[in-house]
Amino acid sequence: MALPSVWSVMRVAILFISAVGLLSVRLVGAGQDSGSVIPAESRPCVDCHAFEFMQRALQDLKKTAYNLDTR
């Protein structure tokens, strides 16, 4: 009995892994509730989040600088 070549085993393994990956992606996408999606109009944009983050970081730096100056 002849053993299958390495390339044929690799092809079968790659096809199997691809099929499992595609199935898992479809299952994850199906598990999300479509009713829980927030409409784009009511979500803040990415730039707004970045701006708010930078404002908080700047306030923290100002507080730290003030605390160092008062010591």
Residue 40: its pLDDT value, please?
A: 67
Task: Using alpha carbons, select from 9, 6, 28, 29 the residue that is nearest to residue 17.
Answer: 9
Residue 31: its pLDDT value, please?
A: 53
Radius of gyration of the chain (CA): 27
Residue 2: its pLDDT value, please?
A: 58
Q: What is the pTM of this model?
A: 0.36
Identify the three-state secondary structure at position 20: helix
Low-confidence ranges of the chain (pLDDT < 70): 1-4, 25-35, 38, 40, 43-44
The whole-angstrom separation of Cα 12 and Cα 6 is: 10
Residue 35: its pLDDT value, please?
A: 62
Task: Using alpha carbons, select from 35, 16, 36, 12 the residue that is nearest to residue 24.
Answer: 16
Please report, for the chain, the start and end positions of each structural domain, with discontinuous segments joined by +.
2-69
Q: What is the DSSP string of 53-64?
A: HHHHHHHHHHHH
